[in-house]
């Protein structure tokens, strides 16, 4: 789980990049709190070969990345 709430881009993307690089997980959950981060993390994840599912949690967002 990567909790990137409270960070503005590009920090959430960098946090996800590190998590992917360190373990190449088959699945990863990412919490963010703004639409810009949703878009940028989604773009990175898709380019890295992940499918992305986004859930809106009352202002926060949970992204589920799966290979």
Residue 1 has pLDDT above 90, yes or no: yes
Residue (of 58, 53, 19) closest to 38 by Cα position: 53
pTM for this model (two decimals): 0.94
In which order are the strands placed within the sheet that holds 2-3? 2-3, 27-32, 60-66, 51-57
In the chain, what is the greatest distance between 2 CA atoms, to the nearest angstrom?
30
Question: Which token pair is 45?
Answer: 């994840």
Residue 19 has pLDDT above 90, yes or no: yes
DSSP 8-state class, residue 56: E
Residue range 2-66, CATH number: 3.30.110.40
Measure CA 57 to chain center: 14
Question: Which token pair is 60?
Answer: 């926060």
């Amino acid at each position: 789980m990567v909790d990137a709430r409270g960070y503005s881009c590009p920090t959430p993307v960098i946090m996800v990049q590190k998590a992917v690089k360190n373990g190449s997980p088959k699945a990863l959950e990412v919490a963010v709190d703004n639409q810009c981060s949703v878009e940028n993390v989604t773009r990175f994840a898709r380019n890295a070969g992940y499918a992305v599912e986004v859930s809106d949690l009352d202002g926060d967002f949970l992204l589920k990345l799966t290979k």
